[in-house]
Amino acid sequence: MSLIEEIERYKLMVAVRTSTPESAFMAAKACIDGGVKVLEITFSVPDADDVIRRLNKETSAHIGAGTILRIQEAKKAIKAGASYIVSPHFDERIVTFTKREGLISIPGACTPTEICSAHRAGGDIIKLFPFHEIGGIHFLKVIRGPLPFIRYMLCGGITVDNLSQYLAENPACILIGSAIIKKNYILSENWKAITQETIQFVSSLKRMLPES
């Protein structure tokens, strides 16, 4: 099974965004302990590449790099062992470089022009960002009319309570961050609480996706 197929099968990707490398590592481990198999370390985390490198050594999860804004960051992420590259925007140079290096590219887009451009440049999955602010599920329904062949990742506004509404639209995956990795958990170093939040999401997904 390819990584894209695994992402589409599991549906859940978690974005780790904290202020220190150690808290990012611990939060990521807590998510993995809760059943997450695909997560990204955002490059807003100091020394994010070291966190990716450490997670690759100590876990079997698929670790990617998020908030990649420059080629230099993509190079550092790939050297650290990232298996996919996520950006909040579309930069053709980053997509081309990522694909040339053999990794999965997940650029961000929020207009029909950006979505088409990102897809044509080689984006494997298009991150609709900021999803809630651009219209959420209604936007996805409309854009899928002319562009049904594109894989979409949904990011923003997702909770355990509305998860079924998002999954009903059959996205390639959903990206969750602060709904699981809550700021107060990070500040109090309550890693068990993050694991419990993760378990809730993973369990809900399994109930909604019998084949997952």
The per-residue pLDDT for range 96-153, each reduced to its tens digit, is: 999 999 999 999 999 999 999 999 999 999 999 999 999 999 999 999 999 999 999 9
Do the strands 152-155 and 108-109 form a parallel or antiparallel pair, or are they unpaired? unpaired
- Return the SS3 of 50: helix
Residues ≥6 apart with Cβ < 8 Å to 162: none
| CB 150, CB 119: distance < 8 Å | yes
Strand partners, 38: 62
Q: Which two tokens stand for residue 154?
A: 């949904």
pLDDT, position 212: 44
pLDDT tier at 211, thresholds 50, 70, 90: low
Report the alpha-carbon distance of residue 202 to residue 206 in Å, rounded: 6
The per-residue pLDDT for range 81-98, each reduced to its tens digit, is: 999 999 999 999 999 999
pLDDT tier at 10, thresholds 50, 70, 90: very high
The per-residue pLDDT for range 182-197, each reduced to its tens digit, is: 999 999 999 999 999 9
pLDDT, position 156: 87
Selection from 167, 141, 117, 118 nearest residue 8 by Cα: 167
Report the alpha-carbon distance of residue 199 to residue 112 in Å, rounded: 35
Asked whether the whole model's pTM tops 0.85, one would answer yes
Supply the angle between the helices 71-80 and 48-58 in degrees, to the nearest 10. Answer: 20
Q: Dihedral (C-alpha) 162, 60, 182, 13: value to the nearest 10 degrees?
A: -30
Strand partners, 182: none
The secondary structure element, H or E, covering residue 16 is strand 12-16
Q: What's the DSSP call for residue 168?
A: T
